[in-house]
Chain A
Amino acid sequence: MLKIKNLKASIEDKEILKGINLEINPGEVHAIMGPNGSGKSTLASVIAGKEEYTMTGGEILFEGEDLAELDPEERAHKGVFLSFQYPVEIPGVSVTNFMKASLNAHRKAQGLGDMPAKDLLKMIRDKSEALEIDRKFLSRSLNQGFSGGEKKRNEIFQMAMLNPKLAILDETDSGLDIDALKVVANGVNNLRSENNAVLLITHYQRLLDYIVPDFVHVIVDGKIVKSGNKELAYELEERGYDWVKPEKTV
C-alpha cells in the first residue's frame, strides 16, 4: 500500500529525514517511535504533503502512485488521512459543517454527488455515539475551545467518518487521560480491517497496549535505526532510546 524508498526531506534547508525506508501493507499496523526531534512528525507531514517541507530525495508510493505528484487534497482523496498532533481551530465552522464539506469533497473526487443530508446526519450520529461524543459537541466551532482530549477525539471521529485506507496518527495519544486513550484506541481498532492500514507515531509504549502493532520502528536522527515487533516497544520503554543510536557509517 505505502512504499517509502530512501526518503529525504528538509525544512528551510535543514535536512530532517535522511533516508527513510518503510513498507506498509494492507491490514498492518505500524508504530513509529523515537526521541523528540528525530523526524517522526516530519515523516507524517511529508506523506500528507505539507508544503513547508521539501522532498530532496527518494520517493513515496501509495498504491503504486507517486504521492509527490499530488496536492495534499488529492492525497486525501486517495485515502491518506492524518490525525494532527495539533488540530487547528476554524472559528464559526461547526464540526458537522466541516465534516460535510470534507465528506462531500471526497465524494466529488470519486465522481459522486453530495451525500443526502439525512444520510449524513445519521452517519454522524452513529460514528459520534461510537466514540462517546456528545451531540452538542458537533455544533461547536471546529476545535475552538476544545480540550486536548476533545481535539484528539474529534480527529478520530473524522477518521471514522472518512474511513481512510491509510490512517496516520501523529501523537494522537499525547495529552490523553486513560479513558480518552481507550476511546481513541477503540476508534482505531474499529477501523482496522484487511484493507486498511495504520501508522502510529508515538512517544510512549502506553498506546500500544491498546492498539497492538504488527511492527515497531525506531527513528533516530531522520533514519529508521531498528525495526521489530511489539516487544521492541517494551524494550524501548525500559531502556530508553540510547541503545539504538544509529550505527555510524564509515
Chain B
Amino acid sequence: MAYTEDDLKKELETKEYEYGFYTDLKSETFPIGLNEDIVRAISKKKDEPEWMTNWRLEAFRIWQEMTEPEWANVHYTKPDFQAISYYSAPQTVDPNKTLDDVDPDLLAMYKKLGISVDEQKKMNNVAMDIVVDSVSVATTFKKTLGEKGIIFMSISDAIKEHPELVRKYLGTVVPQKDNFYAALNSAVFSDGSFCYIPKGVKCPMELSTYFRINQANTGQFERTLLVADEGSYVSYLEGCTAPSRDENQLHAAVVELIALDDAEIKYSTVQNWFPGNKEGKGGVYNFVTKRGICEKNAKISWTQVETGSAVTWKYPSCILKGDNSIGEFYSIAVTNNYQQADTGTKMIHLGKNTKSTIISKGISAGKSQNSYRGLVQINSRADNARNFSQCDSLLMGNDCGAHTFPYIEVKNKTAQVEHEATTSKIGEDQIFYCNQRGIDTEKAIALIVNGFSKEVLNNLPMEFAVEAQKLLEISLEGSVG
C-alpha cells in the first residue's frame, strides 16, 4: 500500500515520544525517525552555534506543514521519512576490508572508467596502501587556495570558522520553505561544501569535491554553498564519474550559488548514483534543489551529466537579478532500464538585458522515462531579456519515453524567447551505416550518442568531458540488442 501524507502526519504525531529525549548523543548512528529532538541532536553533534540550530528547527517546522510534490512525471513509492536515520558519523576505513569484498560488477566498471586502484579503495572505504600521494595532493591544493584567500572547506567547518559568511548567505537563494525536500535538507543536512572566492580572485584550478577528503558519505542530505564575490571566477566540479553504490535510498541535496557583481560561476556535475538493477529494483531517489543568483553582470553556468539514480527530480536554476546577468544550463540526462528522470531548469529574468541559454539533451533507452521540464520567466522589469532553449530527445528502442514540458511566462514586451525541440530515434539505418564502415554496434551507439550530446559535453572541463563520454557509453551498454 502506498504511503500517503496522512500516514506521514499520523506517524509524526504518534512517534513524537517514541524517540523523544532518548537520543543517545554518543552513538554514531541515530535511531530512525525525525522530530525536533533529532534535529537538535544533529546540530549538537556537529557542535553548531545556536543560530544554526534555530535555523534548522525553523526548517523542520516548515517541513512538517508541507507535502511531497506530485507534479513531476515520475512514479515511485514515497519514502517513509520516519524510517530513515538522519545522522550517521562518516564511515571510517575498515582495516579488514579489501577490494575482494567489493562487488565485482562495480570493480569491472571502475576498470572501464580507468580509475586507479587507490581511488577505488578510497571510494569503497578500503584502507589505502599508499596514502602519501593523496595527502600531499590535498595539502598542496589547500596551500595554493589559501594564498589567494579562497575558502574551501566542509560546510560544518565553515559554520564554525566563518559563521558571518555562512549566516549571511545560507538560505538566501533556496529558502527553507522553498520546497518539501529543501525544507527537509535545511533541517537535517549532514554535511557538504562551502566555498568563498574573494573579490577579484580567479580561482586558479577547478575546485572539486574529490579533493576534500571528508567528502565521502555526506551524500544523503548534502548542502553546498558557493559565494563568488565581486569580479571573481570559479569553476566547480561536483561528483565523480565512478558509480557510487550508495545504501541510501533517498538523496535530497541543496546547492546555493551566489554570484555577486561581475562574478562568474561554472558549476559542473556528473551524477552517477546507483540507478537500480535491470529489473528496476533498488536505486537512489535523487531529489535535488540547485539554484543560483546572479547580481549585476554576473554569470552562472550549470552543466550536468545525469546518468544515475532510479528517480531524478532536479532543476538547476538561475535567478537573473542583476542587469546584464547571464544564466546557462547545459544538460545531458540518460535513462536506461526502469530509470525515471524529470529534470530541467528555471531561468528567472528580473534584471534588464539578462540572457539565458538552455540546451537539454535527453537520451532514453530500455523502459525508462525521461522528461525535460523548464520554466523561462521574463518579469515586467526585465527589458530586452533574451532566452534561447533547445530540447532534444533521443530514443533507443520502442519501450522508452521522452517528454518535454516547457513553460514560458513573459511579462515584458521587449523579450525575445526562442524554443526549439526535436525528437529522434537511433535508427537501424544509422547503425548499419556505421557497421558497414567497420564500427561495431556498441561503438556506433557511443558515437551517435556522443554526437547528439556534443554541445553539452563541450561545456565540461576537459578531463571531466572525457570521463563523461565513457560514462555515457557504459550507461547505455546493452541497450540495443
Contacts and interface: CB of A to CB of B under 8 A. Distances in A.
A107 B441 CA distance: 17
- Most interface-central of B435, B447, B448 (chain A CB within 10 A): B435
Given A51-B432, A84-B433, A88-B429, A93 B447 contact: yes
Contact of A158 (B437, B440, B441, B443): B437
A238 B427 CA distance: 40
B430 A88 contact: yes
A49 B433 CA distance: 11
A93 B451 contact: yes
A91 B422 CA distance: 12
B305 to A, nearest CB: 15
Nearest to A144: B451
B438 interface: yes
A227 interface: no
A30 interface: no
A91 B450 CA distance: 10
Nearest to A108: B438
A6 B112 CA distance: 46
B391 to A, nearest CB: 15
Nearest to A91: B451
Contacts of A92: 450-455
Q: How large is the interface on B (under 10, 10 to 19, 20 to 34, 35 or more residues)?
A: 20 to 34
Contacts of A102: 434, 437-439
A105 B437 contact: yes
B437 A88 contact: no
Interface string B247-276: 000000000000000000000000000000
A76 B451 contact: no
Interface in A113-134: none
Interface string B391-431: 00000000000000000000000000000000010011110
B432 A105 contact: no
Interface residues of A, number: 31
A98 B433 CA distance: 11
A75 B435 CA distance: 9
A106 interface: yes
A73 B447 contact: no
A109 interface: yes
B450 A88 contact: no
B436 interface: yes
Contacts of B438: 73, 76-77, 102, 105-106, 109, 162
A237 to B, nearest CB: 30
Interface of A: 48-52, 71-73, 75-77, 81-82, 84, 87-93, 97-98, 101-102, 105-106, 109, 141, 158, 162
Given A50-B432, A52-B428, A98-B447, 13 more contacts: A48-B436, A71-B440, A81-B436, A84-B433, A89-B430, A90-B434, A91-B452, A92-B452, A92-B455, A101-B437, A105-B439, A105-B440, A106-B438
